[in-house]
Amino acid sequence: MSKEIIKDLKKKLKGKIIDMAEVRDNRIYVRIDPKNILAVIEYLFFKYKCKFCTASGMEMREGIEIIYHLAREDKKTLINVKTLIPFPNLEIDSVGKKIPAFRWIEREINEMLGVTFVGHPDMRRLILADSFPKGKYPLRKNFKHSDVTDEDYDYERSGL
């Protein structure tokens, strides 16, 4: 099943894919350049009828890696689209401006890892408090619990 999908995607997304591999049966990993993200995801979601599971962001040595997990349910296959946004300019096109399912997870990655999603319609904080200090990203590897003290909280911003 996955062989078929790999062949399909190679043809349809020609020039946009850096690398593609079937790691295990029904798990496909696709690596793409961050500037192609909107085109690839839009194709997978609207034309290829994939369901959006979620996106995982994580800090790597070279930058922030985001993996968009999309599932093609009728073929029982999970397609993981990987993209690496290099330091220090952490910017990527927002998929949420076209597909509402992506909006919340982009907000979460923004506050947790500090990636800016260009064109996102609503970039408020989702999970962290409004008073949580700006410029601190809890899911970065060098973040420690002791990094944020009570004095750092900006209660005026939260209106308390």
Q: How far is the CB of 14 from other proteins (least distance, A)?
A: 26
Q: Respond yes or no on whether the N-terminal peptide bond of residue 88 is cis (omega within 30° of 0).
A: yes
**Residue 123 makes contact with other proteins by CB under 8 A:** no
Q: How far is the CB of 80 from other proteins (least distance, A)?
A: 7
Q: How far is the CB of 3 from other proteins (least distance, A)?
A: 15
What lies within 8 Å, CB to CB, of 160 at 6+ separation is 131
- C-alpha closest to that of 20 among 1, 37, 3: 3
Secondary element (H or E) of residue 10:
helix 2-12
Task: Give the contact letters, 35-74, x = binds to other proteins (CB under 8 A), - = no.
Answer: ----------------xxxx-x-x--------x-x-x-xx
- Collapsing DSSP states into helix, strand and coil, what is residue 32? strand
Backbone φ, ψ for residue 159 (5° rounding): 80, 15
Pick from 44, 103, 106, 110 the residue near other proteins by CB under 8 A.
103
Q: List interacting residues with other proteins (CB under 8 A).
A: 23-27, 51-54, 56, 58, 67, 69, 71, 73-74, 76, 78, 80, 99-101, 103-105, 125-129, 138-139, 143
